[in-house]
Structure 1
Amino acid sequence: MIQVNDTPISEAAIMAEMQYHPADSKRTAMLKAAESLVIGELLRQRAAELGLEISTENNVVTENNYLDALLAREVMIPTATDVECEQYYKLNPQRFTSSPLLEVRHILLAAAPEDDAARVEAKTLSEILVQQLQQGTSFVEAARNYSACPSKETGGSLGQISRGQTVPEFERQIFSAEPGLMPQGIESRYGIHVVEVMRKVPGQQLPYSAVKQKIADYLNEKVRRKAVAQYIHQLIVQANIDGYDFQLSDSPLMQ
């Protein structure tokens, strides 16, 4: 049993809370559940000390209701200024660039991820096809003869692609490539792809006015998370807690 300033938190309560804290092991889930209940109790106790009226939704009081009320009463959380937002924009230009556009065609040599023999065979064939294409074989004909993708009917063309339109393992490779036939096949969950980047249009820097609010929201949320962590840490230090050691927690909140 855990005691939070003489208020008990039972093992049954921790076991019931575990369903909301999935983890790799039962012990980790129990620690997360216990931490959540301890913090929730600290927030409830502090709100009671201050005599705060907690707003509810559908007559249900949550930990966030207490936290929001306490932060409004006891913590001054600054908001990002225009100067700070613009500085962040200038220091992180790569975050505010539109996706490059690629015009790509490919030959998919299908092989399931768990079929080792098929993947070895596909890789070997991809090496042969790359060599043949480098020597002048028609990509359109090769796609029609070997590709397992419906795009074979259009010479393997995938049209224009921007980030987020393909699977990550394929995307990482093609967006780091320069125009031309890629010297090696790309391995993905679908098999091995022989790829030619036909054209690459670089991404464009987005104007500050278009991302200003997004930057402000990001910086404000970052400051709020830090303020929450510091506030909860203060409650923990001031409390008498038996049966739970916050040093055992790997929660980002407590780091």
Structure 2
Amino acid sequence: MNAALFPDLVVNGERVPHALVAAETQNQTAPAGKPGIAWRKAANAVTIRTLLLQEARLCRIEAEPLEFGPGRFETQEEALIRGLLDQAINVVPPTEADITSEWLKDPTRFRSPPLWEVSHILCACDPRNEADRAKVQIRAQGLLALVLSDPKSLPAIATRESDCGSRSSGGALGQLGPNDTLPEFEAALRQLAEGEISPEPVLTRHGYHIIRMDAVALGQVLPFEAVRDRIAEAMEKTSWARRSRAFIAQLVEAADIQGADLNRV
């Protein structure tokens, strides 16, 4: 193993097994052919987890794993870290004045869910297969060019070319709301005005989509009373995240770390 590319990780004198860092690389993104970047990201993540566990042991934290889903429990390490952060981080709930001030910044941010009426053409592929993805992307771009040249042709092209069952209805998906479709698809919907077509094919796990926004019903602006609790919860979460970052930064500052650089990707 290349020691310069994959150095040993030692945190406050505790040597971390290479296997732990290697396992964590699966959760990190990096350009193809650059394993060193994924390793550095993984080493940083494992370093922070190790520091938190060391602090939990030092503080004699005791915490039982919680169930976060049917038959799904925290690991003992996750429970210890949660217990440590619960003890170390104290978030003061925002005052009514703070909540009102946040709402007044832009009341139009708080709306009932929108509804989108959508049509699409699907060019199916497995995104994990690079050769298949590249070939299907070319096909999708060709179909998109046809649709952009004549937007009214989308139903006919969808009926003839789409790999989705909606081809039987000219690509019409009907009305969709938030969380009704895949995140990438929804993100594209949020960028389209009524009558617009996605400027590029949109990739999801199903393949490439050419999307047309047929109609938009924007959600109504909600009164303060309806969103007060939501704003308070968001403010508390933001405060907790800020304080937790500061707590971790203190641990990093005081630590002796070899094999990771938390100031670098």
TM-score by length of 1: 0.65
Extract unaligned runs of 5+ from structure 2: 1-8, 29-36, 66-75
Larger radius of gyration: 1
Task: List aligned pairs for 1:121-200, cutoff 5 A.
Answer: 121-132=139-150, 134=152, 140-180=155-195, 182=197, 186-189=201-204, 190-193=207-210, 195=212, 197-200=213-216
Structure 1 residues 72-118: Cα deviation after superposition (integer angstroms, max 9, x where no partner): xxxx6422111111221222545422332122233x25253544444
Q: Of the candidates 73, 80, 90, which is equivalent to residue 62 of structure 1?
A: 80
Of the candidates 10, 32, 35, which is equivalent to residue 14 of structure 2? 10
**Where in structure 1 are there 5+ consecutive unaligned residues?**
49-53
Tell me how far 1:145 sits from its aligned partner: 3.2
* Equivalent residues of 1:102, 1:199 under 8 A apart: yes
1:85 match: 99
Give 3-state SS (helix, strand or coil) of 1:62's partner.
helix
Please say which of residues 79-88 and 228-237 is displaced more in the overlay: 228-237
Q: Note if contact 1:170-1:186 (Cα within 8 Å) is conserved in structure 2.
A: no
Shift of 1:230: 4.2
Q: What letter corresponds to residue 105 of structure 1 in structure 2? A: S
AA in 2 matched with 1:205:
V
- Matching residue within 111, 119, 126 for 1:97: 111
Single out whichever of 13-22 and 78-87 deviates more from structure 2. 13-22
After superposition, the Cα gap between the structure-2 partners of 1:64 and 1:246, relative to the gap in structure 1 and judged at 3 Å, is farther
TM-score (norm. length: structure 2): 0.63
Q: Aligned with 2:257: secondary structure?
A: coil
Identical columns (%): 22
Deviations 1:219-247 (A, max 9, x none): 2233234334445655776x6x5x42799
Q: Label 1:207 to 1:141 Cα distance change in 2 as closer, same or farther (>3 A).
A: same
> Is the CA contact (8 Å cut-off) linking 1:127 and 1:185 kept in structure 2?
no
Aligned to 1:51: none
8 Å contact from structure 2 (residues 51, 252) kept in 1 = no
| Residues 182 and 25 (structure 1), Cα distance of their counterparts in 2 relative to 1, 3 Å cut | closer
Number of residue pairs the alignment of both structures matches: 228
How many angstroms does 1:198 deviate by? 3.0
Give the match's secondary structure for 2:112.
Answer: coil
Contact 1:111 1:119 (8 Å CA) reproduced: no
User: Are residues 174 and 26 of structure 1, via their aligned partners in 2, closer, same or farther at CA, if it must alter by over 3 Å?
Assistant: closer
